[in-house]
């Protein structure tokens, strides 16, 4: 039987809260945890060390909570979705009727980078729908940027504040309707591209990209970039519409790559964040793998003239340039 | 169209368990449109072999005298024959009278010829023959491909090199399947190669994307080890790997019942293996 706000629900119950102090944080998380452990539910916590210690100090039985110490849990959105999914799978196999989770999505206010996690917060409303998950995403109101708060309100059906209870988010967007944050144009793109290819084969594209990137990024990054470029071009040929163009911009230690086709782009809002519906049979896996790489940055951009996969390697521009506000991605 | 883009040399004496660099392998091919083209490849290959101090051996079904026409481009045939630097071997003796070849017998015969060459004071043996008729029947191709692979394993540690003739008339698909079993060169633009390693592993070199993986999937069953043995695949020469190669190898292991183990796995391939469920793939080692 499911408990708390998830009582009587099926699938993932996804709520968010804002706090302005440690006291408010604890007011929002401690009952969530203790109600879960009292009901015999697995409770999985993915916070940083400071928050974990704050929470542990307030629990009579911290041993009943699964604190995930792996700092790579939130390395990538796709990686986090899969890591949690595996946890859910084992919990359900062990007989759990509900699983409670809480963790910190990276954003500029907690030292992270929010780009990409906007899609995550929306996607988990569907990606985990097959599991009895009750999740509570808590954000520090004193540090969260307005664009992040905007995404939180559009991706969680219930919003909480300490002392004020829960309200329904009137701005919630169903997953197919979710509008990701705009992605700023990279400063390197102000100059003409170093490489420009029209309808290249995946092989030619990855060779030219590797040639452009060599000496600018390390070997591990080069491997990821080459793979990603190849997959992006292959997907453009298979699923997009010609012409397929590849443009590359380079800096001393950076590289930006755009693979564009004139098709409408993938219809699946979860593309890249979960394996394609065909499962792990090969099809659709390429983008999912790219989304789990930690040395390159990937953006999927639908524009008026088609669809673009943007890949970036090397140090990214300052964070403020990466969370540019709401609306249809324009970059 | 001689498949000889690399400096002439005797096959390297690689250490057991190691993968030789494909560029130094002495297992090349000549993709030809007619016999004249093959004869030109043959003459060049043998001339370089003689200059290297090797015995050169021509595998023919026509006998020594009838083979003179094929060997005319080499010149000084009588002198070379008399001195033992040139030998004509019987196709029948090595490949059998008819039907699919016996791969182990092919290797045994050519190994014996190599040892004999060395015993007679030569640095090794360079052998050539036109395989077109030997693979014309589709039923014969599995065994011949396996013989090519086993020869590769032998060549990795013995002074034997080979030039194999294949006719374009065999068709694009057959040509592609045998191209990958030979060193890259001007007439061999296969994006990848499959070769035998000194330790018996299957070496892969080149790029394995969605096209290469499909082709490898057709070749792999021909190279399966003896029952009960593990099929070891060495990835040291792989320049581009994607998930399709790993998934194909995993699926092959599962569907064939042959245990498959990967060695010389790059850090990137290892990362892909962490992300993908590959329950039937083993990993023999990790190479940083």
Q: Do B191 and A282 touch (CB under 8 A)?
A: no
Which residues of chain B does A234 touch, with a Cβ-Cβ cutoff of 8 Å?
A: 209-210
Distance CA A25, CA A161 (A): 9
Quote the pLDDT of residue B3. 32
pLDDT at B2 over 50: no
β-sheet with B231-241: strand ranges across: B192-196, B202-208, B231-241, B260-263, B281-283
Q: How confident is the model at residue A281 (pLDDT cuts 50, 70, 90)?
A: low
Q: How far is A2 from chain B (nearest CA, A)?
A: 31
Chain B: residue whose CA lies nearest to A290: B272
Residue of B107, B204, B192, B86 lying closest to B157 (CA atoms): B107
Structure confidence by residue, pLDDT tens digits, A24-64: 999 999 999 999 999 999 999 999 999 999 999 999 999 99
Alpha helix ranges (H) inside chain A: 22-38, 49-58, 77-93, 117-127, 146-155, 202-213, 219-239, 285-290
Structure confidence by residue, pLDDT tens digits, B216-262: 888 888 888 777 789 999 999 999 998 999 999 999 999 999 999 99
Distance CA B72, CA B42 (A): 10
Nearest-CB residue to A203 (from B207, B244, B277): B207
Structure confidence by residue, pLDDT tens digits, B184-223: 777 777 888 999 888 889 999 999 888 888 888 888 888 8
Nearest-CB residue to A226 (from B191, B240, B244): B240
Which residues 186-245 of A are in CB contact (within 8 Å) with B?
Answer: 202-203, 206, 219-220, 223-224, 226-227, 230-231, 234
Q: Do A202 and B209 touch (CB under 8 A)?
A: yes
pLDDT at A162 over 70: yes
Q: How confident is the model at residue A70 (pLDDT cuts 50, 70, 90)?
A: confident
CB A200 within 8 A of CB A233: yes
Q: Do B243 and A234 touch (CB under 8 A)?
A: no
SS3 A258: strand
Nearest-CB residue to B276 (from A223, A234, A280): A280
Question: What integer is the mean pLDDT of B69-88?
Answer: 92
Q: Which helix (H) or strand (E) holds A299?
A: strand A296-303
CA–CA distance from B175 to each of B21, B30, B32 (Å)?
23, 11, 11
Number of Cβ pairs closer than 8 Å across A and B? 40
pTM here is 0.87
In the block, residue with structure tokens 């030619």: A204
Q: Do A286 and B242 touch (CB under 8 A)?
A: yes
3-state secondary structure A34-99: HHHHHCCCCEEEECCHHHHHHHHHHCCCHHHEEECCCCCCCCCHHHHHHHHHHHHHHHHHCCCCCE
Quote the pLDDT of residue A277. 63
Nearest-CB residue to B267 (from A220, A231, A281): A220
A179, A180, A185, A189 alpha-carbon torsion, rounded to 10°: -100
β-sheet with A99-103: strand ranges across: A65-67, A43-46, A99-103, A133-140, A13-19, A158-161, A165-168
Structure confidence by residue, pLDDT tens digits, A220-230: 999 999 999 99
CB A24 within 8 A of CB A49: no
Q: How far is B213 from chain A (nearest CA, A)?
A: 12
Question: What integer is the mean pLDDT of A99-109?
Answer: 94
Selected for mutation to probe chain B from A202, A217, A232, A287 (highest B CB count within 10 Å) is A202
pLDDT at B17 over 70: no
Distance CA B62, CA B39 (A): 15
Quote the pLDDT of residue B5. 27
CB B232 within 8 A of CB B263: yes
Chain B: residue whose CA lies nearest to A283: B244
Nearest-CB residue to B243 (from A206, A223, A289): A289
A10, A16, A21, A27 alpha-carbon torsion, rounded to 10°: -20
CB A164 within 8 A of CB A149: no
- DSSP letter at A17? E
Q: Do A206 and B240 touch (CB under 8 A)?
A: yes
CB A180 within 8 A of CB A123: no
Which comes out higher in pLDDT, residue A253 or A329?
Answer: A253
Distance CA B53, CA B123 (A): 6
Joined together, the tokens standing for residue A76 give 């990538």
β-sheet with A296-303: strand ranges across: A195-198, A245-250, A255-261, A306-313, A296-303
Q: Which helix (H) or strand (E) holds B238?
A: strand B231-241
CB A146 within 8 A of CB A108: no
Distance CA B88, CA B145 (A): 23
pLDDT at A321 over 70: no
What are the residues of chain B with a beta carbon less than 8 Å away from any beta carbon of chain A? 191, 207, 209-210, 240, 242-244, 247, 266-268, 272, 275-277
ipTM beyond cut 0.95: no
How far is CA A129 from its chain centroid?
A: 16
In the block, residue with structure tokens 């988990």: A124
Nearest-CB residue to A223 (from B207, B247, B268): B268
pLDDT at B77 over 70: yes
* Averaged pLDDT of chain B: 86
pLDDT at A255 over 60: yes
Angle at B219 between CA B214 and CA B222, to 5 degrees: 150
pLDDT at A282 over 80: no
pLDDT at B99 over 90: no
Least confident of A178-182, A194-198, B185-189: B185-189
CB B188 within 8 A of CB B3: yes
Which comes out higher in pLDDT, residue A273 or B7?
Answer: A273
Q: How confident is the model at residue B171 (pLDDT cuts 50, 70, 90)?
A: very high
3-state secondary structure B132-201: CHHHCCHHHHHHHHHHHHHHHHHHCCCCEEEEEEEEHHHCHHHHHHHHCCCCCECCECCCEEEEECCCCC
Which comes out higher in pLDDT, residue A282 or B7?
Answer: A282
Q: How far is A254 from chain B (nearest CA, A)?
A: 20
Quote the pLDDT of residue B25. 45
Which residues 266-285 of A are in CB contact (within 8 Å) with B?
Answer: 280-282, 285
Q: How confident is the model at residue A72 (pLDDT cuts 50, 70, 90)?
A: confident
Quote the pLDDT of residue A279. 53
Distance CA A125, CA A118 (A): 12
């Amino acid at each position: 039987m499911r408990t708390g706000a998830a009582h009587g629900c099926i699938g993932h119950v996804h709520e968010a809260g804002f706090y302005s102090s440690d006291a408010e944080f604890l007011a929002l998380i401690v009952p969530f945890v203790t109600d879960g452990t009292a009901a015999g539910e697995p409770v999985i916590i993915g916070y940083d060390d400071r928050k974990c210690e704050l929470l542990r100090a307030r629990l009579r039985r911290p041993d009943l909570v699964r604190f995930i110490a792996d700092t790579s849990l939130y390395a990538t959105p796709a990686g986090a979705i899969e890591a949690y999914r595996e946890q859910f799978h084992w919990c359900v196999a062990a007989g759990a009727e509900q699983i409670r989770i809480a963790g910190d999505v990276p954003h500029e206010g907690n030292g992270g980078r929010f780009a990409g996690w906007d899609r995550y917060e929306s996607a988990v409303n569907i990606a985990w729908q097959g599991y009895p998950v009750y999740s509570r995403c808590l954000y520090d109101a004193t540090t969260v940027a307005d664009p992040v708060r905007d995404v939180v309100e559009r991706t969680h059906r219930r919003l909480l504040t300490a002392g004020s209870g829960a309200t329904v988010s009137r701005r919630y967007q169903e997953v197919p309707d979710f509008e990701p944050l705009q992605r700023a144009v990279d400063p390197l793109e102000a100059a003409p591209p170093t490489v420009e290819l029209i309808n290249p084969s995946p092989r030619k594209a990855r060779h030219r990209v590797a040639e452009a990137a060599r000496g600018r990024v390390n070997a591990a990054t080069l491997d990821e970039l080459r793979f990603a470029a190849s997959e992006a071009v292959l997907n453009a040929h298979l699923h997009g519409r010609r012409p397929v163009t590849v443009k590359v911009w380079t800096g001393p230690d950076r590289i930006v790559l755009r693979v564009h086709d004139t098709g409408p782009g993938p219809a699946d809002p979860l593309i890249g964040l979960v394996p394609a519906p065909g499962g792990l049979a090969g099809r659709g896996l390429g983008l999912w793998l790219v989304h789990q790489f930690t040395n390159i940055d990937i953006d999927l951009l639908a524009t008026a003239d088609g669809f673009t996969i943007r890949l970036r390697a090397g140090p990214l521009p300052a964070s403020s340039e990466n969370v540019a506000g709401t609306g249809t991605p324009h970059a | 169209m001689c498949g000889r883009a690399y400096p002439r040399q005797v096959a390297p004496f690689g250490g057991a368990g190691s993968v030789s660099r494909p560029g130094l392998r002495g297992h090349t091919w000549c993709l030809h449109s007619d016999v004249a083209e093959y004869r030109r490849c043959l003459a060049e290959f043998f001339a370089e072999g003689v200059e290297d101090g090797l015995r050169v051996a021509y595998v023919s079904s026509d006998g020594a005298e009838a083979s003179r026409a094929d060997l005319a481009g080499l010149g000084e045939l009588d002198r070379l024959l008399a001195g033992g630097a040139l030998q004509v071997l019987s196709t029948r003796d090595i490949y059998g009278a008819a039907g699919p070849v016996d791969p182990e017998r092919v290797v045994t015969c050519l190994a014996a010829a190599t040892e004999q060459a060395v015993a007679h004071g030569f640095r090794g043996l360079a052998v050539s023959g036109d395989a077109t008729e030997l693979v014309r029947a589709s039923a014969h191709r599995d065994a011949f491909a396996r013989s090519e692979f086993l020869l590769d394993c032998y060549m990795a540690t013995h002074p034997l090199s080979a030039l194999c003739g294949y006719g374009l008339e065999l068709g694009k698909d057959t040509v592609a399947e045998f191209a990958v079993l030979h060193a890259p060169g001007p007439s061999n633009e296969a994006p990848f190669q499959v070769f035998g390693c000194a330790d018996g592993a299957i070496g892969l070199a080149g790029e394995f994307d969605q096209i290469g993986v499909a082709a490898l999937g057709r070749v792999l069953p021909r190279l399966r080890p003896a029952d009960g043995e593990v099929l070891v695949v060495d990835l040291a020469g792989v320049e581009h790997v994607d998930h399709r190669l790993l998934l194909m190898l995993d699926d092959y292991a599962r569907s064939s019942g042959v245990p498959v183990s990967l060695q010389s796995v790059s850090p990137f391939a290892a990362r892909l293996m962490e992300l993908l469920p590959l329950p039937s793939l083993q990993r023999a080692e990790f190479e940083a």
